[in-house]
Amino acid sequence: MWEELARAIGLVLIIEGILPFLYPRRWRALVQQLASVDNRSLRTAGLVSMLVGTALLMLIGGTSSA
């Protein structure tokens, strides 16, 4: 279980790092725009992201057996 969690965190870090690595100016502009977004909108986006991620994990991992 811990190994799978470490792999998942590693993949998140890789994916999160792609855009700043490839497009640092655009990434900086995006972060500046995000700073002006209200908390409710950010929370809604975060919730939607978590729900989509959970659904995806359930779809691809629901049929695996131990």
pLDDT score, position 57: 85
Residue 66 is predicted with a pLDDT of 52
| Distant-in-sequence, close-in-space partners of 4: CB < 8 Å, separation ≥ 6 | none
Q: How far apart are CA 45 and CA 4, in angstroms?
A: 26
Q: In the structure encoding, which two tokens stand for residue 5, read together?
A: 């969690």
**Ramachandran angles phi, psi of 9, nearest 5°:** -65, -40
Considering only CA atoms, give the Rg of the chain: 16
| One-letter identity of residue 38 | D
CA angle 51–6–48, rounded 5-degree value:
10
Q: What percent of the chain shows pLDDT beyond 90?
A: 76
pLDDT mean values, one per 10 residues, the chain (66 residues) = 90 94 96 95 95 90 60
